[in-house]
Structure 1
Amino acid sequence: METVLRLKTSDLNLDFLKAVKSLFKKDEEIEMQISSKSGFSVLKAETQEECNSRIEKSFNNIKKNRNTVSFTGEEFMALTQKLLKK
């Protein structure tokens, strides 16, 4: 599984970590990549409640395999080649 979550540093707390852990088997090895998006933000101004709701909805979608996109490496390469030709 691979996913991208965009959030504010103020949203990083124990509840967030527990939600991430709940997506994986016990002691499963995972990789986390963190980068700063300073100067540009896709996040609108939102209340803490709205943010928590958005993150919870994202985790629920991942758990239920809803609103997700998956494809093989070959399908990805074919799509990128198609998009490059446009």
Structure 2
Amino acid sequence: MYSTFQEQCEAQRWAKLREKHETFLRGPEVAALLVYCQEPRTVKEMLAFMQERVQIGKTKLVDRVVKPLLEEGTFERFLRKRENFSEYLYYVKETEE
């Protein structure tokens, strides 16, 4: 009985958390980021941009914003190689209309 209750509480907690993440992903801060990323940007640039609008860390930005946008096809990325290092740049994928 108690274990069933715990499982229900855990499921409700995760559902609430998923909803909160989805709301953030569709919110004004991420919309502004999409406009900013019309030109290719690094994670460092995106982080600086987002931190002007909302308190967010690099891990949260990558896990809750960049990865979901990559998976849904909104973002694309490419590897830019420089003399001493390589880095990924992200940009908003062109829509085919």
Larger radius of gyration, structure 1 or 2?
Answer: 2
